[in-house]
Structure 1
Amino acid sequence: MTEKCQSWPVIGPLIREQARPLPDGGRLSGIDKQPVSRPTWLGASGFATDQVLDRRWHGGADRALCIYPLQHYRHWQRLFAQANFGPGAFGENLCSDGLDESQLSIGDRLRWGQALLEVSQPRSPCVTLDRRHRTPGLSRALAQSGRTGWLCRVLEEGWVEPDAPLLISQPAANGVSVAQVWRCYSAQGVDEPELRRLIELPQLAEHYRRLFRERLDRRRAERDQGNLFD
């Protein structure tokens, strides 16, 4: 569990004000974020000037802000030397230095400038990353490694100065880390008590709680079906 008011350096805000075509000449995308040099307003649904094109999977109350650790980029650059990775390359809105998925719990509250954030879920990598960086298998590697980054909801809107530090202002009491949620999401052998714990975790984004609920329901249905033939 992180200590109250611990501070972490970050790079950001990172936004994309105008969507660009992906390198393969395909659809427009706002994934390639760039640093801004002025205070930027962070609202309940994210940065007002940031391009979010597919709101089925990006943006919204539980996915208002994406954070990705800077140290992970050093790892990916070693594995994919032909790519050019750096802050904003994976579509995040701020890049933290030293903080990772194992150190943050779902529900941890973070102060960034005037805004108050709450950690809501792991970030689920998508194949747009592969297309953006011309690197097949990149999104799968992120998912398998657990170096996913995480998403936040905005509890208090406000102005964010460039490179304002990120403060862990109120740790959650549940002790369920972002890394733990991702491991449970990726694994099939999670036991029922753990699934129930995640389903009943109010700070966890509804998308993940629904997925865990469906998994638990399937497991119970399979067990009940098996009992009919015992």
Structure 2
Amino acid sequence: MPGAADPLERPWRTGYYKSPVAGPVWLGLTNLRGDGQADRKNHGGRDKAVLGYAASHYPDWRAELEMPELAYGAFGENFTITFLDEGNVCLGDVYALGAARLEVSQPRQPCQNITRRWRRPGLMERVRDSGRHGWYLRVLVEGEVEAGQPFELLERPCPEWSIARVFKAMRRRSQDRQEAARLARVAALSESWRQTLGKS
């Protein structure tokens, strides 16, 4: 539309900007202490308390985006995690992190905040289509956590439901209703994704 403002130029409220924190931080049922969540409908709440992202994705993004300085936290994650990614993290996984216990609840559905943060048109779609999107976790047990602590796998009730498979099932829910129905029956799945699958 002639005269319409560039969407990337419009003011916006977000909790997307993340930076490393030194020392222990309290992880509550809905977020890390001090972590703002501007859009509680699409980000945050019990099922999406924190976002995990694979450290192994950063070399690829730095090369593809020609941004060698791209630092951990660039994709809005609360935890940048080594040795884990969408292929080896499963829905319902329970991890120990410091004194806290967390459960994987769903993949992250990339939104336009990624594009707006880095002012790269099409970046949201690139993150989505690359499969390098991250995953949300709910907090089962609150406690202090600290950078550098390992994510220790305690339980894996659904080894067949990798985050990569869950994301694919959601994207193809209209084409493969049986797979969508199977996913909807997984107890650990977030309520918002279960409702979306129920509408397909």
- TM-score greater than 0.5 by the shorter chain: yes
| CA–CA separation in structure 1 for the residues paired with 2:38 and 2:121 | 22
1:175 maps to: 160
Q: Secondary structure at the match of 1:30?
A: coil
Which consecutive unaligned segments of at least 5 residues does structure 2 have? 1-7
Q: Which residue of 2 aligns with 1:73?
A: 58
TM-superposed CA distance for 1:195, in Å, is 1.8
Q: Provide the rounded CA distance (Å) in 1 between the counterparts of 2:35 and 2:116.
A: 20
Q: Does 1:184 align with 2:165?
A: no
CA distance in 2, matches of 1:84, 1:26: 25
Matched, 1:139 2:128: no
- Separation (CA, whole Å) in 2 of partners of 1:138 and 1:60: 25
1:129 aligns with 2:107: no
Q: Offset of 1:82 from its aligned partner?
A: 4.6
* Gaps in structure 1 of 5+ consecutive residues: 1-22, 216-230
Equivalent residue for 1:108? 93
Equivalent of 1:99, from 84, 87, 93? 84
- In the alignment, the residues of structure 2 paired with residue 188 and residue 52 of structure 1 have an alpha-carbon distance, to the nearest angstrom, of 28
Q: Which has the higher strand share?
A: 1
**Residue 191 of structure 1: CA displacement?**
2.8
Q: Give 1:222's aligned residue.
A: none
Q: Count residues in correspondence.
A: 193
Distance apart, 1:193 and its partner CA = 2.6
- Taking structure 1 as the reference length, the TM-score comes to 0.79
Would you identify which runs of 4 or more consecutive aligned residues in structure 1 move more than 6 Å?
none
Query: TM-score by structure 2 length?
Result: 0.90
Identity across matched positions, percent: 37
Root-mean-square deviation (Å): 1.7
The question of whether the paired residues in 1 share the 8 Å contact of 2:170 and 2:180 is answered with no
> Contact between 2:91 and 2:158, CA under 8 Å: does it hold in 1?
no
The structure whose Rg is larger is 1
Letter in 1 for 2:75: F
